[in-house]
Structure 1
Amino acid sequence: MNVDWVIPCRYVEVHDNLGSMIGAGIDTFWVPELPAPLQVMLAVRLTATAEELSPGIQHVLRTVVTDKHGEVVFEATVEFEADSEVTQTEWLNSMVMPSVVQFEAVEAGTFQLEQSVDGNSQSIPLHVIEGPPE
């Protein structure tokens, strides 16, 4: 299973494997003061063979957020089963799923968010700025 893309957003919901996003692409967060809790919703598109999406096949979703010093500030691992209706067995199929990450930003700077499934990953930067939005 491959992580095709990860899009940070203010809100995401998925119905019939179609994602609806609000604030897609947000990557900068202004906070009044630090430390501050941050919550980021993610739209994640996975591609996989029909066999990988079959019922009973377990996958491991891992999320890691590191601060500007490379220190881990958030880490979570969950197992999931795709259990989706695959109609095309000749090519890669896709699956869109929502995800949410919450962590505390202790200092301003660029955080790195890595989303991986079965060892395949995509990383995105998240910028935290203290003060009013510019």
Structure 2
Amino acid sequence: MNVDWVIPCRYVEVHDNLGSMIGAGIDTFWIPELPAPLQVMLAVRLSATGEELAPGIQHVLRTLVTDPHGEVVFEAQMEFEADAESSQAEWLNSMVMPTVVQFEASEAGTYQLEQSVDGNSQSIPLHVVEGAPE
């Protein structure tokens, strides 16, 4: 299974494998005072063969966030089953997943968020600024 893209957004929902996003691509977060919790919604597109999406096949979703110094501030892992009934065995199939990540932003700077499934990953920067937007 491949992670095609990870898009941070203000809101995402998925129905019938179609994602609707608000504020897609947000990468800078203005926080009045640090440290503070930061919650980010993500739209994640995965692609896989029909066999990988068959019922009973477990996949491992892992999320890792590092601070501006490369120290891990959040790490989570879970197993899921895609069970995509409409997958085509001869096609490369895709699915969109909404996810949410919350971590403690302890200082201003660029954090890295890595989303991986079965060892394939994509990373995105999340910029944290203390104060009001300019």
TM-score bucket of the superposed structures, by smaller chain: over 0.9
TM-score by length of 1: 0.98
Alignment partners' CA distance in 2, 1:40 and 1:121: 18
Question: SS where residue 80 of structure 2 aligns?
Answer: strand
Alignment partners' CA distance in 1, 2:54 and 2:103: 33
RMSD: 0.6
Q: Identify unmatched segments of 5+ residues in structure 2.
A: none
Amino acid at match of 1:11: Y
Alignment partners' CA distance in 2, 1:96 and 1:85: 15
TM-score by length of 2: 0.98
Counterpart position of 1:47: 47
Structure 1 segments, 4+ long, off by >6 Å, are: none
Counterpart position of 2:99: 99
Question: SS where residue 34 of structure 2 aligns?
Answer: coil
Alignment partners' CA distance in 2, 1:87 and 1:29: 37
Counterpart position of 2:85: 85
What percentage of aligned pairs have identical amino acids? 87
Does the CA contact (< 8 Å) of 1:86 and 1:93 recur in 2?
A: no
**Offset of residue 88 of structure 1:** 1.9
**Offset of residue 41 of structure 1:** 0.3
Q: Does 1:25 align with 2:25?
A: yes
Counterpart position of 2:12: 12
- Structure 1 residues 68 and 90: alpha-carbon distance in aligned structure 2, compared to 1, 3 A threshold: same
Does the CA contact (< 8 Å) of 2:53 and 2:87 recur in 1?
A: no
Counterpart position of 1:58: 58
Does the CA contact (< 8 Å) of 1:34 and 1:130 recur in 2?
A: yes
